[in-house]
Chains A and B, each alone.
Chain A
């Protein structure tokens, strides 16, 4: 089944404790992206990747890191999480962002930072 898989689904952590949210897609998509969803703010892009070893900042990249060493994986790294990073996170992929390919989203990771 074609899908985007995020892990974990739920995560509670404390301020400053490094964490990684994994994202994997099995559709051989070139483009991958991370979004956060917050009440009243919709979905905001954190980072995106056009292909392996090619990543760029989205609209809200502060406090986050990403890597794209393999085509299928695009982990989101919070080196020193803070409470304002408490949010619902979505990973997404598409064959290519150039053109009209819709994004395929994972089921989300709800992160709470205390």
Chain B
């Protein structure tokens, strides 16, 4: 049973526009959420996170929104740049477990 779902396998956006990546979860015990970015032939790298007691966290061009009632998480990238093209994984933490979603491949075209 997939506790963390990313229903869009891919997303294409033009440079300068907003990219919105979505993530849904089922376990209400998750208390912390993270986004990782992965380039080909590299391991995932941490991007941004949010605690379950918050509904928004911002870091430069990246903003993560959390809607606990809907069990929904989203990552906004504004403005999108070609270098943002990568696979993005959302992850959710509960106690000592970190559960990852299936990933969304973002392509930002010039």
> Which residues of B are at the interface with A, using a C-beta cutoff of 8 A?
4, 6, 9, 32, 34, 36, 41-46, 49, 51, 89, 91, 93, 96-103
Distance in angstroms between the alpha carbons of A105 and B41 in the assembled complex: 12
* Contact of B43 with A45 in the complex, beta carbons under 8 Å: no
Distance in angstroms between the alpha carbons of A106 and B45 in the assembled complex: 9
Distance in angstroms between the alpha carbons of A100 and B32 in the assembled complex: 7
**Which chain B residue shows the least CB distance to A97?**
B96
B47 to chain A, nearest CB (A): 9
Supposing A42-B103, A43-B89 touch, asked if A103 and B42 sit within 8 A by C-beta, the answer is no
Supposing A40-B102, A108-B41 touch, asked if A103 and B46 sit within 8 A by C-beta, the answer is yes
* Contact of A42 with B89 in the complex, beta carbons under 8 Å: yes
Kindly name the residue among B4, B91, B97 whose own CB sees the greatest number of chain A CB atoms within 10 A. B97
By size class, the interface of chain A is 20 to 34
> Which residues of A are at the interface with B, using a C-beta cutoff of 8 A?
4, 33, 35, 40-45, 48, 50, 58, 90, 92, 97-98, 100, 102-108
**Which chain B residue shows the least CB distance to A110?**
B41
Q: Would you list 6 pairs from A and B whose C-beta atoms are within 8 A, ordered by A residue?
A: A35-B100, A48-B96, A92-B43, A97-B93, A100-B51, A103-B36
